[in-house]
With several copies, the nearest count.
Chain A
Amino acid sequence: MPSITKPLVPLLDLPRNSIGLTQREYEGAMSTLCAGCGHDSITAALVQALWELDVQPHMIAKLSGIGCSSKTTAYFAGTAHGFNSVHGRMAAIATGAAAANRDLLYIGVSGDGDSLSIGLGQLIHAMRRNVRLMYVIENNGVYGLTKGQFSASADLGAVLKHGQKNLYAPIDPVGVGLAIGATFLARSFSGDKQQLIPILKAAAMHRGFALVDVLSPCVTFNDHEGSTKSYRYMRQHEVQATEADFIPFRTEVTASIPSGGVQSVTMHDGSVLHFRAAPPDYDPTDRVSVMRYLQERHEAGEVVTGVLYVDEEAPSLHELTNTTETPLVKLPHEALCPGSEALERLQRSWM
């Protein structure tokens, strides 16, 4: 939990990114989550990813719903506006925010309860509109904040501490995203910062809606034996489909990209996302094969991580609706109000 070590190190000797900021400027308030909560590791990854992306912290807008996971928007980018809204509606609220001002970087953080139960309809429709929004699900299979009931991503047959057994098959946001035509689908693990950071960076640069499903163990209610959202399980069953290795144009370090089986996708802003496919034939742009592969691995009891599907061709909401380049919030009233003469003219036909 970065924010907790905050007081210790003096700022000066910290490394700075190309806009001269240290990671400190990307941190937020002190976390109040349980010690060891996976969510805090994701926060840490977000801090580093944003720092590496050289974004102005105050040009970020953070949105969340309600839940332990949704609290984390307070724990990074302290100088960015945040909106901890209501349970399950963040996708809609973020859609409105993105509609109003296309110049900010929108980061939505949610939980599996927030996104796959009460908020499922909103999530799916935001994906369908391809709103430019990085949407992180801190997925622990339970409702943490309400003390550990099963969420819709709980594993079939999973057992809670007090013996209750989950009867229903889990909903996989990546699977749903594939079914409804989402344009960026990734999965990672809170314990694997090295993989998570480039994925978050790629998601941030995506042209439209970028869903990042991060398995994030709830150490208090769901990190026990047999939980597929536990640290132990993840360490054993994780299979990396692709490793995202993200290089913004301004710093070409192609050197670091190994040859062979490399799959490159150019992001809408010109930067390039390279995939090193674990299964050499893995093509994250071919929906059908992605579906097949994920289904097969799933049946083999594996959790495939990485950037699993990308479509950089699909236009985002603003492109679809042909809104002006200037953020709508920045348009002067003159540009919006037709004025009295136009009103006069308009009314002729009504007289």
Chain B
Amino acid sequence: MTAVAAPAATRVNDFAIKLANVNGTGSASANSLVMEAIFRMGVPVSGKNLFPSNIQGLPTWYEIRVNHSGFVGRVQRYDLAVAMNAQTIERDIAEVTSAGFVLYDSTFPLDSRLFREDVTYLGIPLARLCNEHFDRARDRILMKNIAYAGALVALLGIEPQVLDVLLDDKFARKLQLRQANHLALQLGMDYARDTFDCPLPIQVRRMPSSESILIDGNTAAALGCVYAGATVAAWYPITPSTSLMDAFTRFCERFRRDPETGRNNYLIIQAEDELAALGIVVGAAWNGARAFTATSGPGLSLMNEILGLAYYAEIPAVLIDVQRTGPSTGMPTRTQQSDILECAYASHGDTKHILLFPGNPFECFEFAARSFDLAERFQTPVIMLSDLDVGMNDWVVPKLTWNDAYIPDRGIVLDADMLERLQAFHRYSKLDAEFVAARTLPGVSPLGAYFARGSGHTEDGVYTEFPDEYQKVVDRLAQKHAAAARHMPEPVIERREGARIGLVTVGGCDLAVREAIHNLDQIGVQAGYMRVRGFPFGRSVQAFLDEHERILVVEQNRDAQLRTLLTLETAVNKSKLGSVLAYGGYPLSAEPVVDAVLQLEGS
């Protein structure tokens, strides 16, 4: 069948497409190629990879959202679907908006039951084209992907030369592959141009390029650790945190090798499990190194005991939890924000931790670096809660910057001279207004020795079982944690004239919630916006809660964990707090937020 020009009006730089593939067929690179091309045309775009916890043969999707105003959060329906997976084609076609498009491989006839009156089908004989032009079986499979990418270039009006450049960069050193890719791309473009009237009503048009970059949160966080001066890293592989350590390793190989000696100014240990990973970090931090680990839910649970040790023995430790869908193994390749409560109070006994909540890769870089300052200043574990969406998907964010005047905040660390001058060194007694005690590093001098322990201890670190001595120390720990509030990153707040409702959210929900607020504004409904970025909460968080009659806490978990934390750790009256919960494992989109606000307004 030939293309029927869709009745829909032209929509420039404002559409969403979904690419449905089978994992392990090499579609990933083709998909990101399209997304990157759009990015290079200066158009705000996002690419979300919905991949299975499997290596080959299961369904995988890639969603591209293009939006001139920067609202590139996830949507739930698509203007165009590239349907390359027979297992899911029915669902995939069903998700196309009315008057939308379906691109499929017409080498094989499409099951008639899959036809919809209200969408346009763009059949392209991808398999046939590739079989005609490529000999190696491997190429025939891989190049199908590049071919549909080529077709999209034509259909969406993407500038072909942008792709030429991309391919040339990508395969700079691989002539043969480069040629193959160019050919496949051309095949798709030509076929589309010859067969359909291109571009479709949904199309891309160059915008003035901004100073932004395309980066995923794990890469950014790893870079933050490098810049903060982390020297020891220990980890145990787990999706979706693995790529963070991979990136840290790459950056260290590039930036941390002594030019003269060729020796490494870092040490990364792939531990035997997460207990060891955090143990290594705690040992290194006790010894004075900036050390961190990255993990996800199951690893976090295994780290509970040692987190309590670090809290009580007052040892800095940085832990990055890239959250995924729980409980238990859950859905390892789906996103969620469901470790908030466990992170806040991890371990038995009375414990409280410092948390950071980056909302995008830019903040992953910034907060990762900041974690080390906070951990060392307050001599306690700091947990940065990222998630799969923020950590593994490519985001368009402002260029990262670094202030070369930065000096690491090591907190109160006494050196040999200070110890000399000091009358006596009390490891665990309040030394500053923020209830922090002075620490020393092993090897400093005979005067600096103390005994770190997770057992009851006096202000000198001596073992005790006397209530008063024990309480002195644990009371200070509570005060210390409270004092950290002043040092947390401020929440992002956008007040709106006459808004009775305030939307409070966290992390990667950012874009979708902003979009919701924008859409609500279009229909004359106002809502304030706050995204918390650290725990303990500071004054501004309290202020925002107080300013609004009703609060809706938007988060990606079943049990309203952020709402829980706000209920417990601010003075807010919980009856004021409502929830918008999205926890199916996909990144948040604006619709449910809009609906919830309207419902509340209605009531």
Chain A residues near B (Cβ < 8 Å): 32-35, 57-59, 61, 63, 66, 68, 73-74, 78-89, 91-101, 103-104, 113, 117-118, 120-122, 124-125, 129, 143-147, 149-150, 152, 220, 317-318, 321-325, 328-329, 331, 333, 335-340, 342-343, 346-347, 349-351
Contact = CB atoms under 8 A, between A and B. Distances in A.
Nearest to B452: A83
Contacts of A317: 267
Interface residues of B, number: 91
B218 to A, nearest CB: 14
Contacts of A87: 298, 329
A94 B280 CA distance: 7
Interface of B: 24, 53-58, 169, 212-215, 223, 226-232, 234, 236-239, 242, 255-256, 258, 261-277, 279-289, 291, 298, 305-306, 309, 313, 328-329, 399-404, 406-408, 440-455, 463
A117 B401 contact: no
A331 B24 CA distance: 43
A83 B286 CA distance: 9
B454 A125 contact: no
Given A145-B55, A340-B404, A82 B232 contact: no
A196 B280 CA distance: 29
B236 A118 contact: yes
Contacts of A74: 451, 463
A32 B286 CA distance: 26
Nearest to A220: B55
Given A97-B283, A333-B407, A118 B451 contact: no
A191 to B, nearest CB: 19
Contacts of B401: 340, 343
A122 B55 contact: no
B215 to A, nearest CB: 5
Contact of A96 (B232, B237, B449, B452): B232
Nearest to A113: B237
A96 B280 contact: yes
Contacts of A59: 443
B323 to A, nearest CB: 17
A169 to B, nearest CB: 14
Given A84-B453, A100-B232, A343-B401, A58 B443 contact: yes
A96 B264 contact: no
A86 B272 contact: no
B232 A99 contact: yes
B452 A81 contact: yes
A340 B404 CA distance: 6
Contacts of A329: 231, 287-289, 441
Nearest to B242: A146
Given A84-B451, A87-B298, A340-B401, A333 B55 contact: no
A121 B272 CA distance: 8
Contacts of A91: 276
Contacts of B446: 57-58, 79
Contacts of B306: 86, 89
Contacts of A84: 451-455
Nearest to B442: A81
Nearest to B243: A147
Contact of A100 (B229, B291, B406, B450): B291
Contact of B56 (A33, A101, A328, A336): A33
Contact of A58 (B58, B237, B407, B445): B445
B269 A129 contact: yes
A97 B404 contact: no
A122 B282 CA distance: 15
Contacts of B275: 89, 92, 122
Given A33-B56, A81-B449, A96-B284, A125 B272 contact: yes
Contacts of B270: 149-150
6 contacts: A33-B57, A85-B452, A89-B276, A93-B286, A100-B287, A343-B401
A93 B279 contact: yes
Contact of B237 (A98, A99, A149): A149
Contacts of A328: 231-232, 265-267, 289
Contacts of B291: 96, 100
Contacts of A79: 446-447, 449
B281 A96 contact: yes
B170 to A, nearest CB: 11
Contacts of A100: 231-232, 283-285, 287-289, 291
Contacts of B305: 86
Contact of B261 (A35, A83, A152, A324): A324
Nearest to A102: B267
A118 B272 contact: yes
From B258, B277, B305, B443, name the one whose CB has the most chain A CB atoms within 10 angstroms.
B443
A97 to B, nearest CB: 4
A180 B267 CA distance: 23
Contacts of B255: 338, 342
Query: Across chains A and B, which 5 residue pairs bring their CB atoms closest together, nearest first?
Result: A96-B283, A92-B279, A96-B280, A100-B289, A81-B442
A113 B271 CA distance: 11
A223 B496 CA distance: 60
Nearest to B408: A333
Contacts of B236: 117-118
B238 to A, nearest CB: 7
Given A61-B442, A333-B407, A96 B234 contact: yes
B56 A95 contact: no
Contacts of A338: 226-227, 255
Nearest to A124: B272
B309 A104 contact: no
Given A81-B443, A100-B232, A92 B283 contact: yes
A5 B262 CA distance: 52
Contacts of B227: 337-338, 343
Contacts of A34: 24, 55-57
Contacts of B402: 337, 339-340, 343
Nearest to B54: A32
Contacts of B406: 337
A324 B264 contact: yes
Nearest to A83: B452
A100 B289 CA distance: 6
A321 B264 contact: yes
Contacts of B455: 66, 84
